[in-house]
């Protein structure tokens, strides 16, 4: 007897036929005593369709009312999946995020799961139901529905698996696992059998689209093994877990990630005194905008002024620009420059801690490609470089070849 | 300063353009101190679209999961209307039935409003918002979303107006008021300026589609004046209220209603002993199916057996048939006959109490049209006849001519 949480994305539930297909697949592999929770996203493009409707009503398509609108998408797919199970003779019940006890912060559009009270889910499981939960949503303490932001259904699934102390959380997706790099960019990229939470978190944070960082973080916090696998085949995918069982211990670098959803902001002529950087980033924090890479440079000619360069998600760019223009007026800033034609390329691997020269090797690969590095940032298990967006794919291929295509690394 | 509840149906919010149109209309007539609650249905055909999706997943498209699905329809339209008000500079907030404090019974698909706790609506009104509430839905005590059945948005609006002690509940609709008969059937039908709750309830119950009976009942219970008026013009419509101000006191008959959503069931050869009728109707009650006209006849040749004839809504017919076939097997019933080609034609008017001969006049009209009457039933303020569906429109025209086209009745 196991308790499994299975998450299916929008493309897996795009039509009633596809919904029936995944219901049949789940039933085919279900042992009689298995208890199963299914988390689903909205059908196919329905979230985009709702966004398009919103944009016809207002040019400020975000906030409370957008979440009110978007949460309907998952509510449709959970109801249809529950009906399909019932039609197939399997008792099933659907729950909205609220009904599943998912409590979030009040940050509309990017809510964080604060707590889960899965009592109703447990009761329904014990009554013999397959329980279907709407991904991507929860309830804030003011009674409002809040969406979790991009890829939020993964977060729902993993957090729910944690709260239910599930044996495994399976993330069914278009790809059959986590690759050493995006296989569309690097044909030589290969699927990893396993990866640690820490490395996966870093890969996800740095742009590997297969999993959302917050979902991996949840998995790490609650020690839920996450199995990333294909919706279309029975092949084993990639297991994300605490420690390696077999492979991977020897490799310095586990994967190459890249992210083109990046915008660069340069704030020119800021007073070079304590608290200035804090002030800029307070404006962004109030608007719920995350800042990623940050560089502060001192001008040789005039050390009373400094320039601050940082990156944000390109999707936050329009809102960030609004906020920053207010900051500029409020504080008499000389100028703020914006660039969206940048990309971040990163190497990830816990092994780099014991392997000198990884950074040097990485910069060497950029040099080989004649690629200029604009910003460098590092964490314990990753090194990232901001470069011109046009060079991104070339850079990924060069780095993958250098670090991962030796016979040692490839399986 | 007034508190107004305004209800708009699906065709009024079918597109973002129409949503903007009603938002502008509401703002144009709003006095600065007016407090306004808007109740809306799902956009255009979206409820039908959702039903069609459900039918692709299961042939049993009803119950808890269907309500989970259908409640998304109104959630979409409230969000879009709130966005539109905000875009126009008017603070607004949308509430699901649950958020508006609407508590219903657990009867999925035909929930009854048990109570309303409008605290959050009051708070939002006092903060200067136009409050937009999803019609047609509420929350049962088990935490499930429940729809109120056909025309449930009217019920939401009137019940909310009652709970808020609103000055008026305006029902905006495709027609410009309540007519003495369906104007598509009787071109001579005329709009009433006013009608009492009791008469309107009877008209609605007997098939006048403009208002749902339960909505009128709510209005009567909470003494909320209901103004039925056109979405498209500024013309005054029909006021539904406790007493007449001006007209209508003298007329015996106020209107003619007809209903083709009727099915007739004949249960043949039932034991003629106490409790048998109770048993049949218990089977239907358990399935939440209302029975309307009932006739029990004794056979001259064999008084140990009886036949029971009754009518139900044609929309309940498939489910009723399922239930009744079980009853037939359980109790060795000889046969059950079903007919859906029937219609009910009724005259309504509180004045018939003091006017002898209304029934005779009505049957005279049927005789003139050579129309056979299958069942007759009466209430204090109405007389109804079940006839062949093909004769329904002719019957309505004949009765309207006889009772309402004299110079006395017409305004």
**Which residues of chain A have a Cβ shorter than 8 Å from any chain B Cβ?**
16, 19-20, 50, 53-54, 56-61, 64-66, 68-69, 71-72, 75-76, 78-80, 82-84, 86-87, 93-94, 96, 99, 120, 143-145
Contact B252, B349 (CB under 8 A): yes
pLDDT digits (tens, 9 = 90+) for A122-159: 999 999 999 999 999 999 999 999 999 877 999 999 99
Contact A131, A124 (CB under 8 A): yes
Contact A238, A225 (CB under 8 A): no
* CB–CB contact A69 B60 (8 Å): no
Looking at the DSSP bridge assignments, the partners of residue B341 are none
**Which residues of chain B have a Cβ shorter than 8 Å from any chain A Cβ?**
16, 19-20, 50, 53-54, 56-61, 64-66, 68-69, 71-72, 75-76, 78-80, 82-84, 86-87, 93-94, 96, 99, 120, 143-145
* CB–CB contact A75 B71 (8 Å): yes
Q: How far is CA B374 from the centre of its chain?
A: 24
Please list the pLDDT of chain B residue by residue as tens digits (411 residues). Answer: 799 999 999 999 999 999 999 999 999 999 999 999 999 999 999 999 999 999 999 998 789 999 999 999 999 999 999 999 999 999 999 999 999 999 999 999 989 999 999 999 999 999 999 999 999 999 999 999 999 987 799 999 999 999 999 999 999 998 899 999 999 999 999 999 999 999 999 998 898 878 888 899 999 999 999 999 998 888 999 999 998 876 555 678 899 999 999 999 999 888 877 787 888 899 999 988 989 998 887 666 777 888 899 999 999 999 999 999 999 998 888 899 999 999 999 999 988 877 788 889 999 999 999 999 999 988 889 999 999 999 999 999 999 999 998 755 444
The string of DSSP codes covering A235-250 is ---EEEESS-SSSSSS
3-class SS letters over A73-137: HHHHHHHHHHHHHHHCCCCEEEECCCCCCEEECCCCCCCCEEEECCHHHHHHHHCCCEEEEECCE
pTM here is 0.82
Q: Looking at beta carbons, which residues of chain A come within 8 Å of B140?
A: none
By Cβ distance, the residue of B64, B80, B99 closest to A54 is B80
Pairing of strands B130-134, B92-95: parallel
* CB–CB contact A54 B79 (8 Å): yes
Listed by start position, the domains of chain A span 1-247
Q: What pLDDT score was predicted for residue B250? A: 62
User: Any idea which of A170-174, A270-274, A296-300, B90-94 has the lowest mean pLDDT?
Assistant: A296-300
Give, to the nearest 10 degrees, the angle between helix B64-87 and helix B16-29.
Answer: 60
Angle in degrees, CA B8, B14, B16, rounded to 5: 105
Report the CATH number of the A1-247 domain: 3.40.1160.10
* CB–CB contact A54 B83 (8 Å): yes
Q: Looking at beta carbons, which residues of chain B come within 8 Å of A53?
A: 16, 76, 80
Angle in degrees, CA A283, A284, A290, rounded to 5: 155
* CB–CB contact A83 B94 (8 Å): no
State the CB neighbour count (10 A cutoff) for residue B49.
13
Q: Looking at beta carbons, which residues of chain A come within 8 Å of B47?
A: none
Q: Looking at beta carbons, which residues of chain B come within 8 Å of A74?
A: none
> Mean pLDDT throughout A54-67?
92
| ipTM of this complex prediction, to 2 decimal places | 0.81
- What the block records as the tokens of B100 is 């508006």
- pLDDT cut 90: percent of chain B above it: 75
Q: Looking at beta carbons, which residues of chain B come within 8 Å of A87?
A: 57-60
**Rounded distance, CA B319 to CA B302, Å?**
32
- What the block records as the tokens of A220 is 């790490």
- Kindly identify which residue of chain B lies nearest to residue A77, measuring between CA atoms: B69
Q: What pLDDT score was predicted for residue A20? A: 97
* Chosen from B70, B76, B83, B137 to mutate, greatest number of chain A CBs within 10 A: B83
Q: What pLDDT score was predicted for residue B410? A: 43
Confidence bin at A255 (pLDDT 50/70/90): very high
> Can you tell me whether residue A253 is helix, strand or coil?
coil
Q: Looking at beta carbons, which residues of chain B come within 8 Å of A54?
A: 79-80, 83
Q: What pLDDT score was predicted for residue B249? A: 57
Give, to the nearest 10 degrees, the angle between helix A197-205 and helix A213-222.
Answer: 160
- Kindly identify which residue of chain A lies nearest to residue B99, measuring between CA atoms: A143
């Amino acid at each position: 007897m196991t308790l499994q949480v299975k998450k299916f994305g929008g493309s897996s539930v795009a039509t009633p036929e596809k919904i029936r297909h995944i219901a049949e697949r789940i039933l085919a592999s279900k042992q009689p005593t298995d208890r199963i929770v299914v988390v689903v996203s909205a059908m196919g493009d329905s979230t985009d369709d709702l966004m398009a409707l919103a944009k016809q009503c207002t040019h400020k398509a975000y906030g409370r009312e957008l979440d009110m609108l978007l949460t309907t998408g998952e509510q449709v797919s959970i109801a249809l999946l529950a009906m399909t199970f019932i039609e197939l003779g399997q008792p099933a019940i659907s729950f909205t995020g609220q009904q599943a006890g998912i409590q979030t912060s009040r940050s509309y559009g990017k809510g964080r799961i604060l707590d889960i009270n899965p009592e109703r889910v447990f009761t329904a499981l014990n009554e013999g139901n397959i329980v279907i939960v709407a991904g991507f949503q929860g309830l804030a303490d003011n009674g409002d529905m809040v969406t979790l932001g991009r890829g939020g259904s993964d977060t729902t699934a993993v957090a729910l698996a944690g709260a239910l102390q599930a044996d495994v959380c399976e993330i069914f997706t278009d790809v059959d696992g986590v690759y050493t790099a995006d296989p569309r960019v690097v044909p030589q990229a290969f699927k990893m059998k396993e990866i640690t939470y820490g490395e996966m978190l870093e890969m996800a944070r740095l742009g590997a689209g297969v999993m959302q960082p917050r979902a991996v973080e949840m998995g790490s916090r609650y020690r839920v093994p996450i199995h990333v696998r294909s919706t279309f085949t029975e092949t084993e995918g990639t297991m994300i877990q605490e420690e390696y069982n077999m492979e991977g211990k020897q490799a310095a670098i586990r994967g190459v990630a890249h992210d083109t959803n990046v915008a660069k902001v340069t704030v020119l002529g800021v007073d070079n005194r304590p608290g200035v950087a804090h002030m800029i980033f307070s404006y962004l924090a109030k608007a719920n905008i995350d800042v990623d890479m940050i560089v502060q440079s001192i001008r040789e000619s005039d050390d009373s002024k400094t320039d601050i360069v940082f990156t944000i998600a390109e999707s936050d760019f329009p809102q960030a620009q609004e906020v920053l223009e207010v900051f500029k007026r409020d504080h008499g800033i000389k100028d703020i420059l914006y660039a969206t034609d940048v990309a971040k390329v990163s190497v990830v691997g816990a092994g780099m801690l014991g392997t000198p020269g990884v950074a040097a090797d990485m910069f060497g690969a950029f040099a080989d490609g004649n690629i200029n590095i604009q910003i460098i940032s590092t964490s314990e298990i990753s090194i990232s470089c901001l470069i011109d967006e046009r060079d991104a794919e070339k850079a990924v291929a060069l780095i993958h070849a250098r670090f991962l295509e030796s016979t040692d690394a490839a399986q």
